[in-house]
Amino acid sequence: MSLGSSDIQARHVQELRKNPIDGLVLKELVQASLTWLRTNQAMVNALNVFPVPDGDTGTNMTLTMQSAWNEISTLGTRSAGEMAAAVAKGALMGARGNSGVILSQLWRGFSRGLHGADILDGPTLVKGFVEARDTAYKGVVRPVEGTILTVSKDVAIAAEAALKETQDPIEILERVIPAADASVQNTPELLPVLKQAGVVDSGGKGLFFILEGMLRYFNGQPLDVPTVSVQPMSAMNLQDAMESVEEGQDYEVVVDFFPEGTFDLQTFYGKLETMGTSIQVGEGEGMYRMHIHVPLEKRYEPIDYIMGIGTITKVAMENLLAQMDDIQKSKNEKLEFQPVEPGQIAVVVVSPGRGLSRIFASLGVAAIVEGGQTMNPSTQEILAAFENLPTDKVIILPNNKNIILAANQAKEVTVKSVAVVPSRTVPQGLAAMLAHNPDGEVDAVADKMSKSLASVRTGEITIATRTVEIDGVNVESGQVIALLDGKLVLSSSSIEEAVMGFLEKAEADKHELITFYYGEDLNRNEAFRIADVAREKYSSQEIEVQDGSQPHYPFLISVE
């Protein structure tokens, strides 16, 4: 009698569970974690506290895990300790954003727990979880509960409890996963802003998927079928999809439609997966938006399929190769940087737009790292920006609160004298550059630049990605919102109204200079028209308008 596919799968699972977990099996677990996290990346990204279009925790954690996998993909050691050490090294250099940096610290601690171990048995696994928790907490100056740190702590507690009843590492993992899930669900009770926003912690959810991916591997469960969710249409980050265009995917297709009858999201995803890649689905007020990359010969298949299940209201189709060519030309645009002499201080900045990069270059920076709200650069990318500069004195301006940890991590892995000026916004970074002295001492200049951060107030004007109430501000999905120094202060029906409301909240009439940096999606004439409206009200203030070219934010505003 021949065996069916289910019998073969069952035997495969039995073999996996029977064999010891050596370095090669740990390697498979890391790949499983990466795959399962990537599969659910969009869900993690959607767990954004503020309704702004830059939810990137899932992306940051996935890219950090990808870097860890790249480090071990060709490694053949059977030592679990050696494999874990390589994972930690890859995660360290590839860490992006706060969530990615903390994830790299978790892997660093985990590898410490496995040091010298050939096999990952139950006690060693528990030691790894405990060391991971301790290392991650020590790596954060002011640990906040209700985050990925809390989930790592609850995982360690559950693992220690499980070890009292079993020595089997897989059984311990089976008890850890529910504890991680419960910990994630409890994060809003520990961090009020999560409860206010109606979401769980995104970093904690990402860690849950990493651990769950390991257990799914041992259970023989699929790792490429997502726990399907729909994100708000305005939160769909289609620009990020351009970062990973696969060979043979020639066209980008976006379809807006109203489904008819029963709409099964799992079936919908499954059908789309037979057509292409980079699938995203968003929803808003009953209408759905589908995004997919497909080969030339399949470019009409998604449209035909959706016509059969609903009413199409809009179709957009773009040639990906042409788009990628335009993006590459933009990236290849040469900027003129200030030459740095040996012994001078080189400033490295993170910039989210070509226009802003040009301004930073004109102020004398030595190197620019592309990135910002929607794509946090890795530790390695920040390090690479200054390692080959002809000086051992470096100051880093992260210009984003979610990049500061990665900048500090780059500081720790170089022999150069590096200081991080904790600029949380682009206007702060620009203000800091005005206080830069290339011929001073690193610590003294960094201190002066840091003090200048308080001289500017920052405005961010963008489009709300979901309906929510935060800090007493009621926001409807699709409205224009304004943030003042990172705090949501108002919502409105137009960009002009949001700008004027922000200037009032920022008490612009008590300041001297207002600078508007308009984004890549805002028409230049409209930007100057809104600035003229501001000039009428604030006639005593100097008002400037600059092309920032930043994505997703029609305006960044500096008030100083």
Query: In this structure, are 148 and 202 located in the same domain?
Result: yes
Q: Which two tokens stand for residue 126?
A: 């528990």
Q: Look at 97 and 207; give whichever has higher pLDDT.
A: 207
Dump pLDDT digits (tens) for 439-448.
999 999 999 9
Give Cα separations from 552 to 27, 33, 459, 560 (angstroms): 38, 30, 14, 24
Query: In this structure, are 337 and 323 located in the same domain?
Result: no
- The pLDDT of residue 435 is above 50: yes
Amino acid at 517: Y
Answer with the one of 431, 455, 479 that is the final residue of a domain. 455
**pLDDT-based confidence at residue 310 (cuts at 50, 70, 90):** very high
206 near 57, Cβ under 8 Å?
Answer: yes
- pLDDT of 362 reads 93
Is 297 among the domain residues?
A: yes
Q: In this structure, what CATH number is given to the domain that contains residue 66?
A: 1.25.40.340
Distance CA 282, CA 303 (A): 16
Query: In this structure, are 183 and 240 located in the same domain?
Result: no
For 255-312, the three-class secondary structure string (H helix, E strand, C coil) is EEEEECCCCCHHHHHHHHHCCCEEEEEEEECCEEEEEEEECHHHCCHHHHHHHCCEEE
Query: In this structure, are 276 and 339 located in the same domain?
Result: no
Query: In this structure, are 95 and 179 located in the same domain?
Result: yes
Dump pLDDT digits (tens) for 169-218.
999 999 999 999 999 999 999 999 899 888 899 999 999 999 999 999 99
Is 497 among the domain residues?
A: yes
Distance CA 89, CA 85 (A): 6
Answer with the one of 306, 327, 348 that is the final residue of a domain. 327
Handedness of CA 341, 347, 353, 359 (dihedral sign): negative
- The pLDDT of residue 488 is above 50: yes
What does the pLDDT average to over 136-156?
A: 94
- The pLDDT of residue 1 is above 50: no
Q: Look at 4 and 373; give whichever has higher pLDDT.
A: 373
DSSP-derived pairing of the beta strands 231-232 and 277-284: parallel
**pLDDT-based confidence at residue 225 (cuts at 50, 70, 90):** low
Query: In this structure, are 84 and 161 located in the same domain?
Result: yes
- pLDDT of 32 reads 95
Query: In this structure, are 205 and 240 located in the same domain?
Result: no
- The pLDDT of residue 335 is above 90: no
- The pLDDT of residue 3 is above 60: no
- The pLDDT of residue 329 is above 60: no
Query: In this structure, are 437 and 340 located in the same domain?
Result: yes
- pLDDT of 94 reads 94
Query: In this structure, are 82 and 202 located in the same domain?
Result: yes
- pLDDT of 166 reads 96
Is 224 among the domain residues?
A: no
Q: In this structure, what CATH number is given to the domain that contains residue 389?
A: 3.40.50.510
- The pLDDT of residue 238 is above 80: no
The 10 Å CB-count burial string (b at 16+, else e) for 30-42 is bbbbbbbbbbbbb
- The pLDDT of residue 232 is above 90: no
Q: In this structure, what CATH number is given to the domain that contains residue 297?
A: 3.30.70.1150
**pLDDT-based confidence at residue 506 (cuts at 50, 70, 90):** very high
Is 439 among the domain residues?
A: yes
What does the pLDDT average to over 460-468?
A: 87
Dump pLDDT digits (tens) for 360-411.
999 999 999 988 766 789 999 999 999 999 999 999 999 999 999 999 999 9
Provide, rounded to the nearest whole percent, the portion of the chain with pLDDT above 90. 67
**pLDDT-based confidence at residue 324 (cuts at 50, 70, 90):** low
Q: Which two tokens stand for residue 12?
A: 């495969």
Report the chain's mean pLDDT, rounded to a whole number.
89
- Provide, for the chain, the percentages of residues in helix, strand and coil under a 3-state DSSP scheme, each rounded to the nearest 5: 50, 20, 30
Query: In this structure, are 65 and 211 located in the same domain?
Result: yes
Q: Look at 319 and 247; give whichever has higher pLDDT.
A: 319
Counted domains in the chain: 4
Give Cα separations from 7 to 14, 17, 225 (angstroms): 11, 15, 21
- The pLDDT of residue 332 is above 80: no
Is 156 among the domain residues?
A: yes
Q: Which of 69, 128, 117 is nearest to 93 (CA)?
A: 69
Cβ-based neighbours of 43, under 8 Å, separated by 6 or more = 58, 205, 226, 227, 229, 231
Handedness of CA 331, 334, 340, 345 (dihedral sign): negative
Paired strand residues for 513: 542
Is 484 among the domain residues?
A: yes
- pLDDT of 144 reads 92
Query: In this structure, are 364 and 270 located in the same domain?
Result: no
Answer with the one of 427, 455, 483 that is the final residue of a domain. 455
Least confident of 95-99, 325-329, 379-383, 404-408: 325-329
What does the pLDDT average to over 451-462?
A: 96
Is 226 among the domain residues?
A: no
Q: Look at 319 and 323; give whichever has higher pLDDT.
A: 319
Query: Backbone phi, then psi, for 311, in 5-degree steps?
Result: -105, 120
Query: In this structure, are 123 and 27 located in the same domain?
Result: yes
- The pLDDT of residue 227 is above 70: no
Provide, rounded to the nearest whole percent, the portion of the chain with pLDDT above 70. 89
- pLDDT of 34 reads 94
Is 225 among the domain residues?
A: no
Residue 308's domain spans which residues?
231-327
